[in-house]
């Protein structure tokens, strides 16, 4: 009986085991979602391949996704402004710059002290390779001793050299100003001529100096292409030339003749005060919206304000005797400190 009892319990256990074994297989059969693969009769898994065909829309979406980077690269095609702007657009932008600079610098003026055309002519020749401030600090003693072309032409060169030594290159400059004084005495009756072709014949006088004199002593319009004007004209894309004569000719076609003299003052003022050669104060510039070179200098407003010069930075101007309406302080005399 005991053996049969041991057999009978084993049979239900075997049955249970087989049932249990069968039941796991049924979950395996429940895993017969693979049976959809069986009934899927490989063709119905082909319908999962239709989701693969639905992945074909994903191919189109994948194609759309790359096209979005293409669209993203199109925003990079605001490099299209990097394409050369039209001549008309450049002229309009240039004239707007001039108008806005007129509002920023309504007091723009020649920054050399002078009382007559002769003093302006001599001061302009002396301003080569130095600042207008240094010239203004030097010329009072020079003109006190030699007030006319005749006086300067008859001077002792060594005495003139000593007077203008602070301006640098004093020997070459002495030769120039004494030479032009003699030419004025001998060829023009001691008077400064009011024509470009006559002025450029004088020793040490080129087109830039001639236009300074013509525009500010005679009211004859002219474009003064100094280093500041050349730098800004290129930064603003008015020209690509490095030649002052070519720059003068190109800029002359952009602006009406009546604007030439004051345009020169405004551009030079802006170059000296804000748009410097090495560290332009871009963050403090009032015409950044018109400048294709914005970002060449300091763009942080606080840091840029520290770069401002002369009256824009709260410092004295360059003239010892500034004209009425100048908002800054007069420059100190020679040896008076800055």
Residues constituting the chain: 338
Q: What is the DSSP string of 91-157?
A: HHHHHHHHHHHHHH-TT----S--SSHHHHHHHHHHTTTS-HHHHHHHHHHHHHH--SHHHHHTS-H
Q: Radius of gyration over alpha carbons of the chain, in Å?
A: 42
| Residue 336: per-residue pLDDT | 76
Using an 8 Å Cβ cutoff, are 206 and 59 in contact? no
- Identify the active-site residue in 208, 242, 243, 279: 208
| Full-model pTM | 0.75
Nearest one of 188, 186, 123 to 319, comparing CA atoms: 123
CA 96 vs CA 136, 206, 273, 297: distances in Å:
33, 30, 19, 22
What is the rounded distance in angstroms from the CA atom of residue 21 to the CA atom of residue 14?
A: 10
Tokens matching residue 127: 């301003």
CA 317 vs CA 269, 312, 321: distances in Å:
11, 9, 10
Place of tokens 């002396």: 126
Which residues does 92 contact at the CB level (< 8 Å), separation at least 6? none
| Residue 81: per-residue pLDDT | 53
Nearest one of 326, 212, 221 to 268, comparing CA atoms: 212
Block mean pLDDT (10 aa), the chain, length 338 = 38 38 41 42 44 43 42 48 86 98 98 98 97 97 98 98 97 98 98 97 95 97 97 98 97 98 98 97 98 98 98 97 95 82
What is the rounded distance in angstroms from the CA atom of residue 296 to the CA atom of residue 280?
A: 7
What is the rounded distance in angstroms from the CA atom of residue 126 to the CA atom of residue 74?
A: 54
pLDDT one-digit tens code per residue, 31-66: 444 444 444 444 444 444 444 444 444 444 444 444
Which residues does 271 contact at the CB level (< 8 Å), separation at least 6? 227, 228, 229, 231, 232, 277
Instruction: Determine the distance from the C-alpha atom of residue 106 to the mean position of all C-alpha atoms in its chain, rounded to a whole number.
Output: 22
| Residue 337: per-residue pLDDT | 63
Nearest one of 184, 181, 182, 268 to 222, comparing CA atoms: 268
Residue 208 annotated as catalytic: yes
- Identify the active-site residue in 50, 226, 257, 306: 226
Residue 279 annotated as catalytic: no
| Residue 216: φ, ψ to 5° | -105, -15
Which residues does 160 contact at the CB level (< 8 Å), separation at least 6? 142, 146, 152, 174, 177, 178
CA 141 vs CA 54, 123, 159, 325: distances in Å:
93, 12, 11, 26
């Amino acid at each position: 009986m005991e053996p049969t009892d041991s057999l009978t319990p084993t049979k239900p256990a075997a049955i249970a085991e087989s049932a249990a074994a069968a039941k796991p297989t049924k979950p395996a059969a429940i895993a017969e979602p693979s049976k959809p693969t069986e009934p899927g009769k490989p063709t119905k898994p082909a319908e999962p391949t239709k989701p693969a065909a639905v992945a074909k829309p994903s191919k189109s979406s994948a194609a759309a996704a790359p096209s979005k980077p293409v669209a993203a690269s199109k925003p990079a095609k605001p490099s299209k402004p990097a394409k050369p702007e039209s001549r008309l657009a450049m002229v309009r932008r240039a004239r707007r710059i001039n108008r806005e600079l007129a509002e920023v610098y309504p007091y723009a003026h020649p920054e050399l002290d002078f009382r007559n055309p002769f003093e302006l002519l001599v001061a302009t020749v002396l301003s080569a390779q130095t600042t207008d401030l240094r010239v203004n600090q030097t010329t009072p003693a020079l003109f006190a001793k030699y007030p006319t072309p005749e006086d300067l032409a008859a001077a002792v060169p060594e005495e003139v050299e000593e007077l203008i030594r602070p301006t640098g290159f004093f020997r070459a400059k002495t030769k120039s100003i004494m030479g032009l004084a003699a030419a004025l005495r001998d060829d023009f009756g001691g008077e400064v001529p009011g024509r470009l072709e006559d002025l450029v014949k004088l020793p040490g006088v080129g087109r830039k100096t001639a236009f300074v004199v013509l525009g500010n002593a005679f009211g004859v319009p002219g474009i003064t292409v100094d280093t500041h004007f050349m730098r800004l004209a290129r930064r603003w894309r008015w020209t690509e030339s490095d030649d002052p004569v070519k720059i003068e000719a190109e800029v002359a076609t952009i602006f009406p003749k009546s604007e030439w003299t004051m345009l020169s003052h405004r551009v030079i003022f802006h170059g000296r005060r804000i748009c410097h050669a090495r560290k332009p104060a871009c963050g403090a510039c009032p015409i950044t919206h018109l400048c294709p070179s914005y970002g060449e200098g300091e763009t942080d407003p606080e840091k840029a304000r520290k770069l401002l010069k002369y009256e824009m930075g709260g410092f004295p101007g360059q003239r010892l005797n500034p004209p009425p309406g100048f908002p800054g302080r007069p420059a100190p005399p020679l040896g008076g400190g800055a």
